[in-house]
Structure 1
Amino acid sequence: MDTTVADTLIGTTIDGRYRITGRVARGGMATVYTAVDQRLERTVALKIIHPSQATNVHFVDRFTDEAKTIARLTHPNVVAVYDQGRHLGLPYLVMEYVQGRTLRDVLTQRRRLNPVEACAILEQMLAAIAAAHRAGLVHRDVKPENVLVAEAPSGGAGNLVDAVVKVADFGLARAVEASSIDDSGQLMATVAYVAPELVTNGHADARTDVYSAGVVLYEMLTGRVPFDGDDPVEVAWQHVDNDVPPPSRVVKGVPAAMDELVARATRRDAGARPTDAGALLADVQTVRDDLGAASVETALLRQVPHSRHAAGGGADATAVVPRVTDRPRWARLPEQARNAPGYRHGEVADDYPGGTDRRRLLLMAAVAVMVLVVIGSTWWVTLGRYTDAPPMINMTKDQAVLYAEQHNYKLLFGDGVYSESIAKDTVVNQSPAAGERLVKGGTITLSLSLGKERFPVPDLVGLELNAARGELEQNGLKIKQGAGQYSDTVPEGAVLSTNPAKGTELKRGDTVTVVLSKGRAPIAVPDLVGKNINDARSQLQQLGLAAVERYKDSDQPADTVIAQTPKPGTGAANDDEVTLDVSKGPPLIAVPDVNNQQCQQAQTALQGANLRVRIEGFNPNGFVRGQNPGPNTQVPPQTEVILQCF
């Protein structure tokens, strides 16, 4: 999966159903993702076109027709389409997800295939294309990139003979009678595999796919395409001017039957080719039968001992060789399905006593060996190699790994699943399910819990409404617009605040209320500090604002405004409140009792209490015999206290 560049669609849920988990491939016109169908709990492939193509009406129509085209094909070798729709205006398809590689990946790794492997893959390719031809459709882009090779049911990445092959991308298919050139006039095929008639007159029918399949067979046998070059137009015209060479010219040892098969499929004259993929499939199956029979016959002949007449006049014995018919039912020719397999009998010279009995014994021995092989193989394929899949749901990841090591299983971990009730890293799904058949030592795919799915509320302050909506949707959240509020700092129409606040973790589908700014309020709050409360109250009333008064101790004169909220110049709306802090005047001081104290000490004590002192009497250095105001009298600061000193 390509993760070099961050893809904003990964993690997104399409149509409330398909949660995109990764990117598989990106082409010139569309991108393919893996996704989880949350309704049916299965992995699917989701193909969505690029935004640059959304304005091309013809392409969008062709893309939409792709779903209808493939939906008409029901065949085990055709990649199925489950659903279609639009996401943010972009059409998408939901298709079967095939775990495996493209034939291009296989050829890159192996370079070329042996004839039996090539026939096995080509048979399934042609079976899929034949189903399209019977429906009146032409694929028009048969190439290794559009052939998916899934892992063989019998296991083993290198077992191509038993691999499951599926043909993809019927998006370029057309009804047979439709035009074979797109609106831009370009060939709708890859030049390395293009049929001559597409180059010369743009005509495409079932024989066009036959030609491309023949080129694919050539590449599987040789590891290269027949024609190559830097100029695509030049390569295309080579198909018109030259015959495809025999594969044996490139790879020594390729059977002549394979050369003939390639030649029949790639004749430049479309009328000389097999009429459709079904006709070519019959030829391929016949060739594969001959190849398989020859290989089995050779193997048995090597195992059966030869005998000669005692007098030297006898002949070598020849084993009875069964015809190879172990092809799946869907891939058999009609006459193969109707007729039971026969045997080709060799002849043993019977011009000596006991020759006929010896031949009968050899025949019986060969048949007995084959029966034992068939019985043993059938038991192993159907029962012997299988066991029941163990129950692993609710195991922790560590427990599952330990269990697999102890019981010789292989583990694969698929996409995780969020769960409100199952702890993180605990098994929630397994494939195959507990009790289902599993090859001994086979692979079990586990899905682990990702824990509770939570999305933090993003920081939306200052964003426009549409941008805020996009941010929330990407985080799996919904949006609700609350009542607007005035703001001196946030522009009108932008998000002023959210509820819940940013960073709060919510479940998928939870709603976030956004409050939009109405811009600056129309009334400017005046500067009222230092004014008398009556004047301040009157000024606010004239502006349509309400005064809220709070009295506080202060050194300022009583009824003087000492602070205000909001600050001067702030915008306010009609009937908004302005809070005023009003001075209650300086706090009163209790006059200390200085009677009978020495006059100078009494003066110092009173001055320390923020009072003024005036001494009267006959002896300023005497003792205080009276004070006015009297002791404990509450007076304002700097009140004068008269002392009578004698």
Structure 2
Amino acid sequence: MDTQVADTLLGSLIDGRYRVRSRVARGGVATVYTATDERLDRIVAVKIIHPASGPEAQGQTAGFVERFADEAKTIARLTHPNVVAVYDQGIHADRPYLVMEYVRGRTLRDVLTERHRLNPDEALAITEQMLAAIAAAHRAGLVHRDVKPENVLVAEAPTGGAANLVDSVVKVADFGLAQAVEASADDAQANQLMATAAYVAPELVTDGHADPRTDVYSAGIVLFEMLTGRVPYDGNRPVEVAWQHVRQDVPPPSTLVPGLPKALDDLVIRATRRDPGARPADANALLTRVQVAREGLGNPNTHTTVLRRVTEKPPVSEPTMVVAAVQPAQRPTWARLPEEAPRGGRRRAANNESAWSRLAPLSGRIVGEQRGRLAVAAVVVMLGLIAAVGGWWVGVGRYTQAPELVSLDRAAAEAQAKRAGLVLHYTEPRHDDQVPKDAVLSQDPLSASRIVRGGTITLTLSLGPERLAIPDVVGKEFELATTDLTDAGLKVTKGSASYHDSLPEGMVVATDPKAGTEVKPGHEVTVTLSKGRAPISVPNLVGKPLNEARSILNQLGLVLVEPPTVKESDRPKNEVIGQSPADGAGVEKGAEVSLDVSQGPPQVVVPRVIGMPCQQAKQMLEAQSFPVAVQFNRNGTVRFQSPGENSQVPPGTQITLGCL
């Protein structure tokens, strides 16, 4: 019997304002719902982060909520027609949420699932708008980190032409969400790759570094998939796919779809270089190349490219697909990008020429009169002053010098930047052996460089010296221990083996340094292995006289450490009261055994009882734990005692009394 679990959020009211209506999609990080904003009476999309469970629940702490709110504020300031707008953020049932613009349409993933692949003009039109959105984020200092078809929304065209993707409006979602979630991960998840393996840039796999060129790489993979109907790499596990990006170059799309124009191959290859320095610097640089490619494909002076469909066995008569890229000027006004401008230059020039012809008689009259000439001269002087002041301001006045922030701690750097009227932006911090944690490692622009007043200085903070904790590998086989230590960034050396009472041969007995010790990456760890249990078991010697214990050890081939340690004890003198190793421990022949022996019970003083009545003396001595033997007359007087008075004897020594 199928059991369906109801979504408790459906129908609920969030923050007294957003009535949840239906669920749109569920991803690995969040679920998206449609909701009605009852205050403004409009449909919105609400993205709610999944609740954490188990050990990961520690990630959604106050620190995570604060970081999430900061990311939401940054995204909300990112205003662009191709970016899904963020209206609000908050916490509902201990789960952070974003309220966003509701886009009527489909994701690019839905489009590719239906169409398999797109015509070049459609692929370039979508790429152009996608890059325009990402470029706006790059200008604001944001890196998307997870560009993929699932985060690209293709809105319905106002003309209703759903089949013509060239006229559709493209919007990009989830700016900054991957970074906010990744920052909340605990130490156990610190190395988890917060990106989709099919689109991940090589540097994000190898060292976790992301900058605008990372988004350029992912955008190139999305363009490759739109042109070919598939991603360049696949595998059984995401990690296998991710490492193919590191080790292989992305092939030209024309190797999978023969007949594609070379300009498209060049676009994809340049955007997906494995070396970030060989790619366009950011999304805006790639956008310029895409626009040039679109105009080139749509140029009527160039020949039409015919693209044959790819099948395993092409039939004799095969349908063709014509590449007819739409130039930016041909797009509807509502769908033009901010970078595009109507090409009406000639018409404007003609209008300007007509206007000047109408103003010519008036200008003649002004110049012909003295008052007019003075007015013109005054205007010229005023314009000159304005130009001079404006030139000074543009060239010098609006600039100041960047302060020296390197080596300052974060609080001091922020205070100095505030005094200078500058804004600070932070990049990913790095480890450094010389610069302490939270101190400024580098700045851009450099100190004493020119910077616009109120401008931004980008700082990189130090994480301090990188230290690794040596993992606990005691009790593991050498091969497994070596793998654990190597994966932790350490070097392994096999030390001498030793006997062990409980660990079998070949298992790790100890490491040097010990487990938990913090060391530098690459530190050498010496591993000691077990030779199994030793051939001789140490006997139990406690309670035996010293000479007997010495004889037993000699018979077993063991060596007594001389002299034995003498300790106070109530046991008889030279009786063994302790040993090391303990009895039952495994040792090899010739091993040393240390013994603790008793120095005997403490001595007591015999009191004087001579002259006392015999029975009274006997009672007194017995009260002090001395056994008493009476000789001759029990009812007489004590005439002698043995041991004598003031003698020091062991407790319990018998006293003999002679009574007459």
Q: How high is the TM-score relative to the length of structure 2?
A: 0.50
Aligned partners of 2:280 and 2:286 also within 8 Å: no
- CA separation of 1:625 and 1:67: change in aligned 2, threshold 3 A: farther
Q: 2:321 aligns with which of 240, 243, 266?
A: 240
Aligned partners of 2:295 and 2:327 also within 8 Å: no
User: Aligned partners of 1:62 and 1:423: how far apart in 2?
Assistant: 32
Aligned partners of 2:559 and 2:592 also within 8 Å: yes
Give the aligned partner of residue 424 of structure 1.
437
Identity of aligned residues (%): 32
What are the within-5 Å matches in structure 2 for residues 257-336 of structure 1?
291=343, 293=345, 297=349, 301=351, 317-319=354-356
User: Aligned partners of 1:439 and 1:43: how far apart in 2?
Assistant: 23
Give the aligned partner of residue 197 of structure 1.
308
Matched length: 428
Offset of residue 437 of structure 1: 3.2
Aligned partners of 2:294 and 2:327 also within 8 Å: no
Partner deviation per Cα, 1:296-353 (whole Å, 9 max, x = no partner):
649xx5xx7xxxxxxxxxxx9334xxxxxxxxxxxxxxxxxxxxxxxxxxx6699999
| Secondary structure in 1 matching 2:628 | strand
User: Aligned partners of 2:295 and 2:625: how far apart in 1?
Assistant: 110
User: Aligned partners of 2:296 and 2:490: how far apart in 1?
Assistant: 43
Which letter does structure 1 place at the counterpart of 2:248?
A: T
| Secondary structure in 1 matching 2:310 | helix
Name the larger-Rg structure: 1
| Secondary structure in 2 matching 1:435 | coil
- CA separation of 1:317 and 1:94: change in aligned 2, threshold 3 A: closer
User: Aligned partners of 2:534 and 2:548: how far apart in 1?
Assistant: 24
Q: Are residues 1:122 and 2:136 paired?
A: no
Give the aligned partner of residue 607 of structure 2.
592
Offset of residue 124 of structure 1: 5.8
Offset of residue 615 of structure 1: 2.6
What are the within-5 Å matches in structure 2 for residues 362-381 of structure 1?
none
What are the within-5 Å matches in structure 2 for residues 301-450 of structure 1?
301=351, 317-319=354-356, 385-450=398-463
Give the aligned partner of residue 276 of structure 2.
95
User: Aligned partners of 1:581 and 1:511: how far apart in 2?
Assistant: 40
Give the aligned partner of residue 495 of structure 2.
482
Offset of residue 446 of structure 1: 1.0
Aligned partners of 1:482 and 1:516 also within 8 Å: yes
User: Aligned partners of 2:644 and 2:411: how far apart in 1?
Assistant: 88
| Secondary structure in 1 matching 2:454 | coil
Q: Are residues 1:630 and 2:649 paired?
A: no
User: Aligned partners of 1:61 and 1:253: how far apart in 2?
Assistant: 38
Q: Are residues 1:612 and 2:627 paired?
A: yes
- CA separation of 1:376 and 1:632: change in aligned 2, threshold 3 A: same
Which letter does structure 2 place at the counterpart of 1:483?
A: S
Offset of residue 26 of structure 1: 2.7
Give the aligned partner of residue 195 of structure 2.
25
Which letter does structure 2 place at the counterpart of 1:64?
A: Q
Aligned partners of 1:528 and 1:561 also within 8 Å: yes
Give the aligned partner of residue 64 of structure 1.
248
Aligned partners of 1:43 and 1:97 also within 8 Å: no
Offset of residue 97 of structure 1: 9.6
User: Aligned partners of 1:98 and 1:375: how far apart in 2?
Assistant: 41
User: Aligned partners of 1:569 and 1:25: how far apart in 2?
Assistant: 57
Give the aligned partner of residue 547 of structure 1.
560
Which letter does structure 1 place at the counterpart of 2:290?
A: L
Partner deviation per Cα, 1:472-492 (whole Å, 9 max, x = no partner):
455554433332222123343
- CA separation of 1:638 and 1:290: change in aligned 2, threshold 3 A: closer
Which letter does structure 2 place at the counterpart of 1:487?
A: H
- CA separation of 1:197 and 1:454: change in aligned 2, threshold 3 A: same
Which letter does structure 2 place at the counterpart of 1:577?
A: E
Partner deviation per Cα, 1:474-529 (whole Å, 9 max, x = no partner):
55544333322221233433332233333433344443333222222222223344
Give the aligned partner of residue 281 of structure 1.
none
| Secondary structure in 2 matching 1:291 | coil
Give the aligned partner of residue 505 of structure 2.
492
Unpaired runs of 5+ residues, structure 2, are 1-144, 146-177, 219-232, 254-264, 298-304
Offset of residue 94 of structure 1: 4.6
Give the aligned partner of residue 644 of structure 1.
658
- CA separation of 1:640 and 1:512: change in aligned 2, threshold 3 A: same
User: Aligned partners of 1:520 and 1:43: how far apart in 2?
Assistant: 60
User: Aligned partners of 2:475 and 2:493: how far apart in 1?
Assistant: 16
Give the aligned partner of residue 579 of structure 2.
564
Give the aligned partner of residue 530 of structure 2.
517
Which letter does structure 2 place at the counterpart of 1:26?
A: T
Offset of residue 613 of structure 1: 0.7
Offset of residue 241 of structure 1: 8.6
Offset of residue 444 of structure 1: 0.5
- RMSD after superposition: 5.9
User: Aligned partners of 2:311 and 2:427: how far apart in 1?
Assistant: 49
Offset of residue 433 of structure 1: 0.6
- CA separation of 1:23 and 1:400: change in aligned 2, threshold 3 A: farther
Which letter does structure 2 place at the counterpart of 1:628?
A: S
Give the aligned partner of residue 259 of structure 2.
none
- CA separation of 1:53 and 1:557: change in aligned 2, threshold 3 A: closer
User: Aligned partners of 2:621 and 2:408: how far apart in 1?
Assistant: 85
Offset of residue 245 of structure 1: 8.5
Partner deviation per Cα, 1:582-637 (whole Å, 9 max, x = no partner):
456655544222233454443233224432112335463x6533212212334444
- CA separation of 1:604 and 1:499: change in aligned 2, threshold 3 A: farther
- CA separation of 1:520 and 1:67: change in aligned 2, threshold 3 A: farther
Partner deviation per Cα, 1:240-262 (whole Å, 9 max, x = no partner):
3997889999845779xx9xxxx
Give the aligned partner of residue 577 of structure 1.
592
Offset of residue 560 of structure 1: 4.8
Offset of residue 540 of structure 1: 3.0
Which letter does structure 2 place at the counterpart of 1:293?
A: G
- CA separation of 1:645 and 1:45: change in aligned 2, threshold 3 A: farther
Offset of residue 428 of structure 1: 2.7
- CA separation of 1:409 and 1:460: change in aligned 2, threshold 3 A: same
Offset of residue 389 of structure 1: 2.3
User: Aligned partners of 1:449 and 1:62: how far apart in 2?
Assistant: 27
User: Aligned partners of 2:589 and 2:604: how far apart in 1?
Assistant: 43
Aligned partners of 1:34 and 1:97 also within 8 Å: no
Which letter does structure 2 place at the counterpart of 1:567?
A: A
Which letter does structure 1 place at the counterpart of 2:419?
A: Q
User: Aligned partners of 1:80 and 1:378: how far apart in 2?
Assistant: 42
Q: How high is the TM-score relative to the length of structure 1?
A: 0.51
User: Aligned partners of 1:60 and 1:410: how far apart in 2?
Assistant: 40
Unpaired runs of 5+ residues, structure 1, are 13-21, 82-92, 104-116, 130-193, 204-236, 259-286, 305-315, 320-346
Partner deviation per Cα, 1:366-401 (whole Å, 9 max, x = no partner):
xx9xx9999999887765654432322233322322
Which letter does structure 1 place at the counterpart of 2:592?
A: E
Which letter does structure 1 place at the counterpart of 2:421?
A: N
